[in-house]
Structures are given as C-alpha cells and as structure tokens.
Amino acid sequence: MLCKIISLADPGHEPKAHSIRGLAASLAFLRTHSTEEVQSLGGWRSTTSFSSCEFHTLILTQQVRNVSGQDCPCTWYEVSRAWYCDASTTTIPTDCWTQHTGVSKLVFQGSISYVSEGDLDHENLEYVTSVEMRGVEGMEAQSLSSLTHLVYLDLRNGKLTELPDMSALTHLVALEAEGNLLNSVPDLTHLTHLRDLHLSNNSIDVLPDDLLPASSYALNVDFRVNDFSIINAHSLNTATDGSYLAFDDLTAIRATQDESDVLVAKNLESNIDLLGIIVITDDPTEP
C-alpha cells in the first residue's frame, strides 16, 4: 500500500511537500528498513501505526545516526539539496558530507569554533553555492578554497580578525561579514560578480587601494562603524558607476586631481557627501 508522507520539517527552511524524488527516496527507505530502524532515527510521530503504512506525518529532524553507522548532527533537505546544522553543532560535521551528492547549501545555526583547511573539501560539496556560518570564531586561510562555485557567503557576528583567502571564489555575489573583529580587508578586485559587500561593525583601520572590483553590477557596500576616517580615492575608483557606499566618521578622501575627476564621474551614491570631503594632493599615500 502506498504510504502518504508529508514532511513537517522546519517550515522556515523548507516547504512541507517533498519533491517527487524526495518522496521516492522516503518510500524506498521505509520499504527496506524495519519499524525499529525507522524509530531509532528519532523525532518521528504518526497518526496511525507503522503496520498500517498510512503515515500522515514523518519527522526526521533530530540528530540522527544513519543506516551506515555514521554520526551526522545535521538535517538534510532534499528539495533544496541543503544541510541544516542546529545550534548544538560547534564543529564542522565532516561525517555528513559523504551521505548526499550535489549539495547546494550549508547552514550552520550554531557558533562554529574553527574551520580548518579540508573541512569543506569534499566532492559532494563541489557545487555548493551558499554558506551561512554566523558566529564562527576562526578560519584557516584556505578553508573555503574548494568552494569554487560559491555565490553567497554569510560570516556575520563572529570573532574573525581576518577573512579567509577568497582568491578562488570568483563567482561570489554577496559577502556578509559584519559584526566581527576584522582589522583589515583583502584585495577583492577579482570578485567581478560581486553586488553586496557588508563589513560594518568591525575594527577595520585602513582600506587597501586595491579593494572594490570592477563588477558587472552596481555595488551595495557598507563600511559603517569601523576605525578608519581617511581613505584614498583609489579604494573607491574601481567601483561600478552608481554604486552605493555607506560610511560614518569618514573625514577625508585623499586624491590626485585625476583621481578626483574619476570619482566625480562615477556618480556614486552614499549616506554622506563623498565629493565634499575630497582632499586634493599630489602624492596620496596610505592614510
């Protein structure tokens, strides 16, 4: 008899109805495993007995030990090809990566203590496009280098003093790293698809001359609540025309006359008067 299965996983993350592929996988699992094995996965309930095979709900959202015996503290969502790791997960759950191919999204809802090189380097993660890892305390320089298809990276509200190497993340569209302890920003000029860069509420004391990419899109950049008050015009002059830049406590933009002319022609939008604080100099140096 065909079992009716409806996922009641967190509705904030995943639609209630599975895709046909997800339903087929669930049915195949139930047909090939005993009641005891299904029950041992934890977090299920149904309105009828297992023997009737007329399930109205099946919830598998708790920490599970899968059939192969590996521990995986995260929940898999078939429709979005995503792993969701709850607040109790404080280390990268590498045991999960072998279980599903074609992973698209990783969400870590707890504060990850440290991300080492190799933690995210697995063939099943090759096409991950989105990583949400808020509250991370530290990352090895090459910890993201294998995620070459990454489009969205959320590293908000952690304790990072520097960003990991992003030279391989050439498809990145959005980088959110506000609310950390960053004291510097790497060269991002290679991120030519970038649209959103959020680095507010950090401890950045200087912006590099080579900073913003000549993106195909107008940028939305937020540098508010940081520790610098003077920048060089070259830090901004590669931004796409019409980009929006948010600052506070910025008192001067040092520029040669040529750099000033370029900046004026950009028609950049901002929450402050950028053109009103340009200081012309023959030798703009690092502020």
Assign 249 to helix, strand or coil: coil
Please state the rounded mean pLDDT for residues 3-11: 40
- What's the mean per-residue pLDDT of the chain? 82
Assign 108 to helix, strand or coil: strand
Please state the rounded mean pLDDT for residues 148-156: 99
**Residue whose tokens read 């901004």:** 236
- Provide the CB-side half-sphere exposure for 251 (13 A, CA): 5
If one compares 50 and 184, the residue with the highest pLDDT of the two is 184
If one compares 223 and 284, the residue with the highest pLDDT of the two is 223
- Reported as a pLDDT band with limits 50, 70 and 90, residue 58 is very low
Q: What is the pLDDT of residue 286?
A: 52
If one compares 174 and 3, the residue with the highest pLDDT of the two is 174
Give the range among 83-87, 114-118, 198-202, 214-218 with minimum mean pLDDT. Answer: 214-218
CB atoms within 10 A of CB 86: 16
- Strand 269-270 and strand 244-246: pairing? parallel
Q: What is the pLDDT of residue 260?
A: 96
Q: What is the pLDDT of residue 216?
A: 84
Quick one: 184 exposed, middle or buried, by C-beta within 10 A (0-12, 13-18, 19+)? middle
Q: What is the pLDDT of residue 171?
A: 97
pLDDT digits (tens, 9 = 90+) for 238-270: 999 999 999 999 999 999 999 999 999 999 999
Between vectors from CA 43 to CA 37 and to CA 47, what angle results, nearest 5°?
A: 90
Q: Token pair of 280, please?
A: 């012309």
pLDDT digits (tens, 9 = 90+) for 27-37: 455 444 544 45
Taking the C-alpha atoms of residue 281 and residue 112, their distance in angstroms, rounded to an integer, is 46
How much helix, strand and coil, in percent to the nearest 5, is found in the chain?
Answer: 15, 20, 65
- Reported as a pLDDT band with limits 50, 70 and 90, residue 285 is low
> Are 96 and 71 spatial neighbours (Cβ–Cβ below 8 Å)?
no
Taking the C-alpha atoms of residue 29 and residue 252, their distance in angstroms, rounded to an integer, is 64
pLDDT at 128 over 60: yes
Helix boundaries (H) for the chain:
20-32, 35-40, 257-265
Taking the C-alpha atoms of residue 159 and residue 142, their distance in angstroms, rounded to an integer, is 17
The one-letter amino acid at 90: T
